[in-house]
Structure 1
Amino acid sequence: MFKTILVPTDGSELADKAAQAAAEFAQDTHGRIIALAVAEPYPYSPLAEPAFLPDPAAYDKGVLELAETYVSKVKAAAEQAGVPCETYTMLSADPAKEIIATASRHGCDAVFMASHGRRGIQRLLLGSVTQKVLAHSTLPVVVFR
């Protein structure tokens, strides 16, 4: 059965729903949770005017701090269920790749994650982290919508 569950989160209400379900599942199976928030680094454009660029280091620090608040919500759900939980935050331009690598690194058996259900041109332009994880992971992925 699934003993180590990866819960990637973006801090959204739907991600909180996935975290709650993972905590309940882990409680029933005597499992544990690995919580992950992937912050995307500043999207620097070499064509941008230097006068208008924010400090990339400050930006990265800010998004990592925000990521910490996201994983703390997963940890709170796990603690409420009496489930062990480790939290990780990463800075990566490819969240799906980082999710899959983290699952492998920590020996996860399954991934519980949210999908925001983008459709049409929005999905084409923005892509879907969940879709990429589904396509490239060898683990079972439980998707919440």
Structure 2
Amino acid sequence: MFNTILLPTDGSDLSDKATATAVEFAKLHRAKIVSITVIQPLPLASMGDGGAVIDSGQFAVKMQEAARAYIDKVAAAARAADIPFEGVISVSHTPYEEIVEAAKKFDCDLIMMASHGHKGINKLLLGSQTDKVLAHTTLPVLVLR
């Protein structure tokens, strides 16, 4: 029934748990896992003259290294279970759009993603990529907590 599962990951403990669930699910369905990590570009411009200065080039390098580590962790879990795997690293201010587009591009039949379950002000400030994916895809979405 499910041939290709899209698994967004952010490297959190919750994403690691979702990876374990996705691997078991993929084994049951003999499905491929496509994992995506979306890097959000540096949101603030560097400040000069006494303000904090952030090296945007170094920030980008560190974010790419972290994203590669997240994808490599999912790849290792898939490889250990003998599951076909493909990893994607994307850069966008709107991660949910990248997730929805990756599901289309890789012809996924299911999106499995962790939800951090932010409530109140944290949800308002951090937003919910899971809620946005649910609102912008026609695919089934399995939300894991």
Q: Shorter-chain TM-score: which interval? A: over 0.9
Q: Which amino acid aligns with 1:72?
A: D
Distance between the aligned counterparts of 2:101 and 2:69, measured in 1?
22
Match of 1:134 in 2: 134
Classify the secondary structure of the residue corresponding to 1:34. strand
1:86 aligns with 2:83: no
Partner SS, residue 50 of structure 1 = coil
Q: What is the alpha-carbon root mean square deviation over aligned residues?
A: 1.2
Q: Report what 1:32 is aligned to.
A: 32
Matched, 1:12 2:17: no
Structure 1 residues without counterparts, runs of 5 or longer: none
Q: How far did 1:87 drift?
A: 0.8
Read off the aligned partner of 2:73 and give its amino acid letter.
K
The residue number in structure 2 matching 1:117 is 117
* Stretches of structure 2 lacking an aligned partner (at least 5 in a row): none
Q: Which residue in the other structure is 2:54 paired with?
A: 54
Distance 1:53 1:2 in 2: 47
- Counterpart residue number, 1:21: 21
Is the contact between residue 64 and residue 91 of structure 1 (CA under 8 Å) also seen in structure 2? no
Instruction: Judge conservation of contact 1:113–1:143 (CA < 8 Å) in 2.
Output: yes
Q: Does 1:43 align with 2:50?
A: no
Moved more, 52-61 or 76-85: 52-61
Q: CA deviation at 1:50?
A: 2.4
Aligned length: 143
In structure 2, C-alpha distance between the alignment counterparts of 1:126 and 1:13, rounded to whole Å? 18
Q: Which residue of 2 aligns with 1:3?
A: 3
TM-score of the two chains, using structure 2 as the length reference: 0.93
Structure 1 segments, 4+ long, off by >6 Å, are none
State the one-letter code of the partner of 1:59: F
C-alpha distance in structure 2 between counterparts of 1:23 and 1:135, whole Å: 25
**Structure 2: distance between partners of 1:41 and 1:140:** 28
Query: 1:8 touches 1:99 (CA, 8 Å); kept in 2?
Result: yes
For 1:62-91, what per-residue CA distance to the aligned partner results, in whole angstroms no more than 9, with x for missing partners?
101101101111111111211010111111
TM-score (norm: length of structure 1): 0.93
Secondary structure of the residue aligned to 1:57 is helix
Aligned to 2:66: 66
Q: SS at the partner of 2:111?
A: strand
Amino acid aligned to 1:101: E
SS where residue 116 of structure 2 aligns?
coil
Distance 2:14 2:110 in 1: 18
